[in-house]
Homo-oligomer: A and B are copies of this chain.
Amino acid sequence: MKRNSRLSLALHTLGHMAAEPKQWKTSADIAAHAGTNPVVVRRVLGPLRKAGLLVSEKGHSGGWKLARSPQEITLADVYLALDERLIAPDDPHANHHCSIEHALHEQVSKVLEGIERELVERFATTSIADVQNMKY
């Protein structure tokens, strides 16, 4: 696979599911389409289930499907569920000798943090249905 694969895999999968919201899809099927492994799929989809975007069922004729309508799932929901932070590094306070360095570091972090927030807001304006319906 490539970089940013978690988000990308998630969006593909949700896009597919949006086309047939009633149908249960197995991780094996999803993996086959995505050219990856069922366990990898479950690993990516797990957090989406925890976030309430998907539901899964065990057992015969089990699998995965959307927990709500595609219009009600935004890219921000997915992004946050996956715990991605593409802009701002999760850097919970590196040590810096000189105080100028420290202040500057704080500044850079604040700026990136702000842009990260704006990115999430942007993601929130697009739903899975939008992706699937070729709004763009």
Instruction: Using CB atoms and an 8 Å cutoff, list the residues of chain A in contact with chain B.
Output: 2-5, 8, 11-12, 15-16, 19, 33, 75, 86-89, 91, 98, 100-101, 103-105, 107-108, 110-112, 114-115, 118-119, 122-123, 126, 130-132, 134, 136
Contacts and interface: CB of A to CB of B under 8 A. Distances in A.
Given A15-B107, A108-B11, A122-B118, A86 B89 contact: no
Contact of A12 (B11, B87, B104, B131): B104
Give how many copies assemble into the complex.
2
Nearest to A10: B108
A118 B119 CA distance: 9
Nearest to A18: B104
A12 B105 contact: yes
Contacts of A112: 8, 11
A108 B2 contact: no
B111 A136 contact: yes
Leading 10 A-B pairs by shortest Cβ distance = A4-B89, A86-B86, A15-B104, A11-B108, A110-B136, A2-B89, A3-B89, A111-B131, A107-B131, A2-B91
